[in-house]
Each structure stands twice: as C-alpha cells, then as structure tokens.
Homo-oligomer: A and B are copies of this chain.
Amino acid sequence: MIEKTSKQIRSEVTKEGKLLIYIESIKLPEPKEDEVLIRIEASPINPSDLGLLIGPSDVSSLSVSGDGENAVVTMDIPEGLLRMLEARIDQSLPVGNEGGGIIVAAGDQVSEALIGKTVGVAGGSMYSQYRCVKASTCFVMHEGTSPAESASCFVNPLTALGMVETMRMENHSALVHTAAASNLGQMLIKICLNEDVPLVNIVRREEHVDMLNNLGAKFVCNSSRDTFMDDLIKALIETGATIGFDATGGGKLSGQILTAMEVAANQTATEFNRYGSDKFKQVYIYGGLDRSPTTLNRSFGFSWSLGGWLLTPFIGRIGPERFEELKQKVADEIKTTFASHYTKEISLAEVLMPENINVYSKQSTGEKYLINPNK
C-alpha cells in the first residue's frame, strides 16, 4: 500500500545564523518514463551526510521545540562560519546521500519488471519515505539481499574501490588509510586482501588494532602509541606505500604520513639530496573527521602533494564503463566485502531526538546509525 504523502528530513540555515532540522511531508512523487519509485527502508548517516544535515553547527547549543514528527531541532552556527553557507540560506534542503529499499512503482513497462526488487541507490534526499529515481541509477541487488544490507552500497564501497583504482591510475603500488577501523576501512582491508595490495592501516585505539588484525590486516599502526612514527615508517618501508587517504584531514596526521614516506624513501637513497627524496608522495584528504587546521612541518622535501579527494569527480574520471563494473562488484559482494555494521536503527522522528543527535554527530568509529524512514 503506497501512502499519498512522503515524509522526509529537511535541514535549513536561516540568515540569523541558526540551523534547523525537521520533518516535511511532501506529495508522493510519481515515476515518469525511465523512473521507478522506491520505498526507502534503510539509509545510513555518513560523515558526508552530516555536512549537509548539521554542517558546522554547534551541537552543544541544540534545542528542540515540539515533539515526535513535529519536533524542530535548532542549533547555533558559530560566528564567522555563516559566510561559507550563504548559498544555502533560507532553503529547506532534503538530506541523505544513499539508501536501500524496494521498488514499488515504475514509470514505464520496461521498468515494471523491477517492481518488488531490492535496490541500493544514491542521489540525495534518501532520508525520505519514498524516492523517485532513474531506473538506470539503481544497484539491483541479488535475491535475498535486504534493504538494510543495500543501504550503504554507494559511498563507502565506491570510495574504498576508488582508493585502489586511484592508487593504480597514479602509479603507486601500496596504500595508507586512516580511520581504518571504520566500515569503509574494513571494506578496504578486504579489497586489498583479495587483490594483494599492501595496505597500512592507521587507527587511534588499541582495540581497533586487534579488530583489524582479526580481519587479516597485516599492517596496523596506532597513532596514540608513542612509537607511532617508528611503527609507520617500518610499515612504509615494508610495503613501499607512497599514497595515502586520510579521513581526518585536520591536525598533523597527513603531514606525519608524508614525513614517514620520506624517511622510508631515504632509507634506500644512495646519496644526500638537499631537496629531499625524489620519490613522489601523495596524500589525499577525503573527509574532515578532525575539523582543526591541517599542519604540515614540510620535512618531506619537494616531491609531494596533498589534495582533496571526492567520489563524484573520481567516477567522472574512470568513465561509465568502469563505473558499471564497480557497481556490479558491489552488488555481488554486498554481504561480504561490502557488508556494513550499524549500532542502531532509528526512525525519521528519532533523527530529531537530542540523545541520538549527540551520538551520530560525533562520527565515532563503531557508532554508526541507520535510518529507516518507514519504521
């Protein structure tokens, strides 16, 4: 039975410097030709969603008026940061990059064959009860895969695959990854094991070292240990990794990776080069878990690059054919390589509850929430 309306989470920045989160009811969308209507049953809260949902707001300033599905969450945006949000002021924006659900209606006869199928899908506004999308954008899952299992089929799997692809395209042969105990990090470990790519994992907590070792990770460095730099250098000498992907972005970590790569490269150098090793070292920042400034001591010569990495331009770079291959791989391995773990399933109304916001806004590894808009 399809409802005549669809509820969805909205985020709005006011010109007075407040951020509001609330539920909006819209008319049930109708699939046009080439389109299908999906009942969304699972959508993860990824760091990339929080950028839109909460943005740079101060979570400690949170207040709520109304309750249940009528609650409105209000937070302050710290002074000086409002200028960066100018382009979204006074717009009520739907949220949610990806989700899993069941196709319940189709806009043409060809797509009708998909009705009843479980799909994963990306494209925004996924914290909605129903979403209309182009049929061709759906990851059609194999029989027996649930919407919850399909929910994280896009951002994490393709980012993890994208790291390995980028490594190869840019002529590196081994990888470094930070925040490596995340769902994404665990996928990357499995991909690298399958494809014999040496991988250096960086985590911040000792229990994550054990967890990743149990997954088969060979190199796990804990940045909280006093011996971190020595451990990292040793792993880089063994693996020869000269490209890293940093989910944290802030603080010293990116620079430490470049420094350790430089020290590792110089171990094999035969003569002193005043400009540093000529081995090219690359670190990409693909997230911002640490919002503090990035600090580089530049003790790594001149043959290096630090840059931003995003999924969308990467997909453009590999082209549609390779993209389809990667999508198929994700659908084939969604219960193994690309399996995700969540600590809690919440409804749309529960997205607005302070006790939940305080947890999911922290983006802690091992504290991942899944939204079921039809719960």
Q: A91-B272, A293-B298, A305-B307 given; name 17 further pairs at CB < 8 Å.
A: A51-B274, A52-B274, A87-B272, A87-B273, A93-B272, A255-B293, A275-B310, A293-B295, A295-B295, A295-B296, A301-B308, A302-B308, A302-B310, A303-B308, A305-B306, A305-B308, A307-B307
Contact with B along A351-374 (1 / 0, CB 8 A): 000000000000000000000000
Q: Is A338 in contact with chain B by the CB < 8 A criterion?
A: no
Task: Please measure, in the bound complex, the distance between the C-alpha atom of A286 and the C-alpha atom of B301, giving whole angstroms.
Answer: 10
> Which residues of B are found within 8 Å of A294, using beta-carbon distances?
294-296, 298
Q: Is A227 in contact with chain B by the CB < 8 A criterion?
A: no
Q: Is A288 in contact with chain B by the CB < 8 A criterion?
A: yes
Question: A9 to chain B: closest CB distance in Å?
Answer: 15
Q: Is A299 in contact with chain B by the CB < 8 A criterion?
A: yes
Task: Please measure, in the bound complex, the distance between the C-alpha atom of A87 and the C-alpha atom of B85, giving whole angstroms.
Answer: 50
Task: Please measure, in the bound complex, the distance between the C-alpha atom of A12 and the C-alpha atom of B84, giving whole angstroms.
Answer: 51
Q: Which residue of B lies closest to A287 (CB)?
A: B302
| Copies in the assembly, this chain | 2
CB atoms of B302 and A309 under 8 A apart: yes
Question: A293 to chain B: closest CB distance in Å?
Answer: 5
CB atoms of A272 and B88 under 8 A apart: yes
Q: Which residue of B lies closest to A302 (CB)?
A: B308
Task: Please measure, in the bound complex, the distance between the C-alpha atom of A151 and the C-alpha atom of B208, giving whole angstroms.
Answer: 58
Q: Which residue of B lies closest to A306 (CB)?
A: B306
Task: Please measure, in the bound complex, the distance between the C-alpha atom of A309 and the C-alpha atom of B276, giving whole angstroms.
Answer: 12
Task: Please measure, in the bound complex, the distance between the C-alpha atom of A294 and the C-alpha atom of B295, giving whole angstroms.
Answer: 6
Supposing A249-B298, A301-B308, A307-B305 touch, asked if A313 and B278 sit within 8 A by C-beta, the answer is yes
> Which residues of B are found within 8 Å of A297, using beta-carbon distances?
293
Please pick, from B51, B271, B299, B308, the residue contacting A304 in the complex, using a CB distance under 8 A: B308
Binding site for B on A (CB under 8 A): 51-52, 55, 84-85, 87-88, 91, 93, 249-250, 255, 266, 269, 271-276, 278, 285-286, 288, 293-299, 301-310, 312-313
Question: A91 to chain B: closest CB distance in Å?
Answer: 7
> Which residues of B are found within 8 Å of A276, using beta-carbon distances?
308
Supposing A271-B87, A306-B307 touch, asked if A250 and B298 sit within 8 A by C-beta, the answer is yes
Pairs A–B under 8 Å by Cβ, sample size 12:
A84-B299, A85-B272, A87-B271, A275-B312, A278-B313, A288-B298, A293-B295, A293-B296, A294-B294, A294-B296, A294-B298, A302-B309
Question: A266 to chain B: closest CB distance in Å?
Answer: 7
> Which residues of B are found within 8 Å of A285, using beta-carbon distances?
298, 302
Task: Please measure, in the bound complex, the distance between the C-alpha atom of A129 and the C-alpha atom of B313, giving whole angstroms.
Answer: 55
> Which residues of B are found within 8 Å of A308, using beta-carbon distances?
276, 301-305
> Which residues of B are found within 8 Å of A87, using beta-carbon distances?
266, 269, 271-273
